[in-house]
Amino acid sequence: MKTIKAGIIGGSGYTGSELIRLLVHHPEVEIDFVFSTTRVGKPIVEAQPDLLGISTLEFAGKMNPDVDVVFLCLGHGHSSAFLKAHPFSGSTKIIDLSNEFRLKDDANFQGREFIYGLPELHKEKIRSAKHIANPGCFATAIQLALLPLAKAKKLQSTVHVNAITGSTGAGVKPSATTHFSWRNNNSSWYKPFTHQHLGEIGESLESLQHDKAKLLFMPQRGNFTRGIFATAYTTYEGSVEQAKALYQSFYVDAPFTQVSANEVHLKQVVNTNQCHIHLHKHEDQLLVTSAIDNLLKGASGQAVQNMNLIFELEESIGLQLKGSYF
């Protein structure tokens, strides 16, 4: 197979930066361009000094419309406008990391059909897809915690979800709740019960269970940089051993989703494309814990995973990353 030529739109934000870090080491990919309107001609290492000695790429002011795959790492609400202004060839695969094309009602744009890119749910659809709507970070962690229960029609009671994310989840542009003096030694909730990822979560669960599960979701900001630690609990009539068998069966062909016999924590998954899940039963409540890196399995790593599937590569190629445990 010929080398895949990839383009990146929005290479100076967190997700674009992580994509570059992954793709410069991917054995089947060559980065054709990293497009910018404000940094044209400047070395990428000026924006991403961790690439010093690794990449000599410069930000480009032009794009190759015939590139094999383009990753859109733009702010939410900007992808459709960008595609209208900058058309790509009919053979170019598009992987969008924003929230514009994730819901069924938004999945068709300019004659393109965007497939929801959660490999643990839609692997075969992704293999034959041309365009991908990459899932949200909270949505990934919560869906991976609940999909096996939905498949078994076990989400019959309210599901209570609490998930805390690192500061990179808010994007690279500083805000009142992301600067160090506010975030350090602090925590808070935001968008209680109304977070924008609930729509995509609901559609995925309903596709398996065929009716709507009620989720009460409390998102929180943490005083750390990377990762999402999510807990979900709901009524479950079976034993924890039966639940573990259910999850292990569902994820038997999922190389990045592991069911752990031991309690999980964030350091296991930060800087990896892994999701680690743990199950605990208390009386009639099943507690499901899931942990991911919001920038990798929750964004750029999953985008590369989807690219691998589209181009018929080994799903895990370029993504064999070990966490920094200590």
What are the CA-CA distances from residue 236 to residues 74, 143, 208, 244 (Å)? 40, 17, 17, 12
275 is catalytic: no
Which pLDDT band, with edges at 50, 70 and 90, does 1 fall under? low
- Please give the Cα distance from 118 to 134 (Å, whole number): 7
Mean pLDDT score across all residues of the chain: 94
Q: Residue 171 above 90 pLDDT? A: no
pLDDT digit string, tens, across residues 34-55 = 998 788 889 999 988 988 999 8
Please write the tens of the pLDDT for every residue from 117-148.
999 999 999 999 999 999 999 999 999 999 99
pLDDT of residue 38: 82
How far apart CA 251 and CA 285 sit, in angstroms, is 22
Give the Cα-Cα-Cα angle 200, 206, 209 (nearest 5 degrees). 145
Average pLDDT for 164-187: 84
pLDDT the model gives residue 182: 85
H or E element, residue 277? strand 275-282
| CATH number belonging to domain 137-292 | 3.30.360.10
298 near 311, Cβ under 8 Å?
no
Phi, psi of 135 (to 5 degrees): -65, 160
CATH superfamily entry for domain 4-134+299-310: NAD(P)-binding Rossmann-like Domain (3.40.50.720)
Q: What is the DSSP string of 63-130?
A: --TT-SEEEE-PPTT-HHHHHHHS---TT-EEEE-SSTT-SGGGSEETTEEEEE--HHHHHHHHHT-S
Active-site entry in 34, 69, 137, 321:
137
How confident is the model over 92-117, as a mean pLDDT? 96
User: What percentage of the chain reaches a pLDDT higher than 70?
Assistant: 100
Least Cα distance to 15 among 294, 318, 274, 228 occurs for 294
Pair 289, 231: CB distance under 8 Å? yes
Domain positions in the chain are 4-134+299-310, 137-292
- What residues have CB less than 8 Å from 253, skipping those under 6 apart? 123
How does strand 228-235 pair with strand 215-221?
unpaired
pTM given for the model:
0.95
Q: For the chain, what's the residue count?
A: 326
